[in-house]
Amino acid sequence: MSINTVSTIDNLVPVRHALISVSDKKGLDFLIPELMEAIPGLKILSTGGTHKTIASLLPDERKSALVQVSDYTGQPETQGGLVKTLDFKIYLGLLTETYNDSHREDLERTDAVPIDMVIVNLYPFKETVARHDITVESARGNIDIGGPCMIRAAAKNFIRVAPVVDPVDYSLMLDELRSTGGKTTLETRAMLAKKAFEHTAEYDRAITDYLRERSIGEIKKAYPDIR
């Protein structure tokens, strides 16, 4: 397998498409109006409860800027939200490199768009397993799959994509977008990428620690109808 080696990138990257899917919706009421003002032509891809929240924050004349991920991919969400964002078009949009002709051809072939910003945070696994009444099955259900994948893809491609995982960074990001006319800088994208990988590493460590402490007896107790 050959790995692409990139030499030409842009310092300033216009944000035209953002993917927003958050477990912690704190700050969205501040973020969304300010984001739409900073980038008047922005298109937002979103899922589930996040989509519903964003829709409630947009004026009627801007609601067309919001698109369900399932409408974009052509694949409905599975029951329980099990699979929402694990789709070729999503990851093509996250991982494509600006000056790669093959990537541009793939985008055109699939009618996909480059995704320039990802605003994602994860199911609260550590908080969930801290409860005294938590079962192995409840813990298992709170292991986020799509979120870490999107964060890692966006962070890997920090040469073009801004991965935002912490509501604390909303103001910083908005300040930059206002000062640059809706663009992110390489410096900010690299800083956000470091934070994103720290976020997923801590998340995986919490899952690992929880599972390591569970005996097979405790696991079997959570599934009384083992066949």
Residue 3 lies in a domain: no
Residue 5 lies in a domain: no
Q: Are 52 and 81 in contact (CB under 8 A)?
A: no
Residue 145 lies in a domain: yes
CATH number of the CATH domain containing 176: 3.40.50.1380
Q: What angle do CA 23, 66, 97 make, to 5 degrees?
A: 80
SS3 per residue for 166-194: CHHHHHHHHHHHHHHCCEECHHHHHHHHH
The first and second tokens of residue 154, run together, are 């966006």
Residue 1 lies in a domain: no
- Can you give the residue range of the structural domain that contains 88? 13-221
Taking each continuous run of H as one helix and of E as one strand, the counts in the chain are 11, 7
Residue 76 lies in a domain: yes
pLDDT by 10s per residue, the chain, length 227: 678 899 999 999 999 999 999 988 999 999 999 999 999 999 999 998 999 999 999 999 999 999 999 999 998 777 666 677 789 999 999 999 999 999 999 999 999 999 999 999 887 788 888 888 889 999 998 899 999 999 999 999 999 999 999 999 999 999 999 999 999 999 999 999 999 999 999 999 999 999 999 999 999 999 999 99
Residue 8 lies in a domain: no
Residue written as tokens 């930059």?
176
Residue 56 lies in a domain: yes
Report helix, strand and coil shares of the chain as percent, to nearest 5: 55, 10, 35
Residue 35 lies in a domain: yes
Per the structure, the count of domains in the chain is: 1
pTM of the model: 0.93
